[in-house]
């Protein structure tokens, strides 16, 4: 999971769509977007580098929907609030039990407090010297094997005492280790290894190569997995 950058100032593309809707007499907020819903979704996809806010797989207009972090039933006044809206994948079309992301979260069986890690600035973007403090990947250091599973990071972060359970809760609530996602991550990892070989890069150079391609699917997973190889 990766930080989604949202500035204080609402982007013009987003704002003009929302204004047009709320200036319409008798509107019903988000439910009155009509054809503009697609435009709104596209503006969210663009700011997220075409990655699902939760699982980070590649998304497009056809394969994504708009997610309300605080759902409409809990606060209808935030239904068109820029900072509450994200683009997410269709979670394997909600096929239980293999669904994931918001489709899994929305099935009503999830308990616990949902931590919006995607909005924790400075805490979420991986660089060579500062790795994602919340999420880790399952890695067999003896066999140098990447399983495709994501796990909570062990270490505590200053200012966030004992949040390992909360991170695990987010992984569980979104089913981020659904078999279909594990397989997709393993496949991605194989393509990263192929790139390493083809371009003849060491791990650090490979990291530098991918960190610049912000639309890399499973972006944080890829960066953490490369970083692991040097640990």
The residues that touch Zn ion, with contacts defined as CB under 5 A, are 52, 54-55, 89, 101
d(CA 220, CA 105) in angstroms, rounded, equals 21
**CB of 197: closest distance to Zn ion in angstroms?**
29
Residue 6 or 105: which CB sits closer to Zn ion?
Answer: 105
**CB of 90: closest distance to Zn ion in angstroms?**
8
Query: What does DSSP say about strands 145-152 and 135-140: parallel, antiparallel, or unpaired?
Result: antiparallel
**CB of 64: closest distance to Zn ion in angstroms?**
8
Q: Count other Cβ atoms within 10 Å, centred on residue 144.
A: 9
Contact status, residue 52 vs residue 65, Cβ threshold 8 Å: no
**CB of 6: closest distance to Zn ion in angstroms?**
18
Residue 78 or 174: which CB sits closer to Zn ion?
Answer: 174
SS3 category, 194 = helix
Residue 207 or 217: which CB sits closer to Zn ion?
Answer: 217
**CB of 149: closest distance to Zn ion in angstroms?**
16
d(CA 15, CA 33) in angstroms, rounded, equals 13
Contact status, residue 150 vs residue 91, Cβ threshold 8 Å: no
d(CA 172, CA 85) in angstroms, rounded, equals 21
Residue 17 or 66: which CB sits closer to Zn ion?
Answer: 66
Contact status, residue 219 vs residue 225, Cβ threshold 8 Å: no
Phi, psi for 171 (deg, rounded to 5) = -60, -45
Residue 101 or 124: which CB sits closer to Zn ion?
Answer: 101
């Amino acid at each position: 999971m990766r930080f989604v950058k949202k500035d204080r100032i609402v982007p013009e593309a987003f704002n003009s769509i929302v204004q047009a809707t709320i200036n319409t007499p008798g509107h019903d907020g988000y439910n009155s977007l009509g054809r503009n819903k697609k435009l709104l979704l596209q503006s969210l996809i663009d700011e997220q580098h075409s990655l699902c806010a939760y699982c980070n797989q590649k998304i497009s207009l056809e394969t994504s929907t708009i997610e309300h972090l605080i759902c409409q039933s809990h606060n209808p006044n935030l239904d068109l609030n820029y900072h509450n809206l994200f683009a997410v994948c269709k979670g394997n079309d909600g096929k239980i039990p293999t669904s994931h992301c918001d489709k899994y979260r929305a099935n009503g069986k999830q308990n616990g407090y949902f931590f919006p890690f995607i909005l924790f600035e400075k805490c979420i973007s991986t660089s060579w010297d500062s790795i994602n403090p919340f999420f880790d990947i399952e890695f067999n250091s003896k066999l140098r094997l990447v399983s495709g599973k994501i796990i909570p990071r062990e270490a505590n972060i200053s200012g966030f005492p004992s949040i390992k359970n909360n991170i695990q809760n987010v992984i569980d609530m979104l089913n981020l280790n659904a078999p279909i996602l594990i397989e997709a991550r393993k496949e991605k990892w194989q393509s990263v290894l192929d790139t390493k070989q083809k371009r003849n890069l060491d791990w650090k150079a490979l990291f530098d190569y991918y960190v610049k391609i912000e639309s890399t699917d499973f972006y944080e997973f890829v960066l953490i997995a490369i970083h692991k190889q040097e640990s």
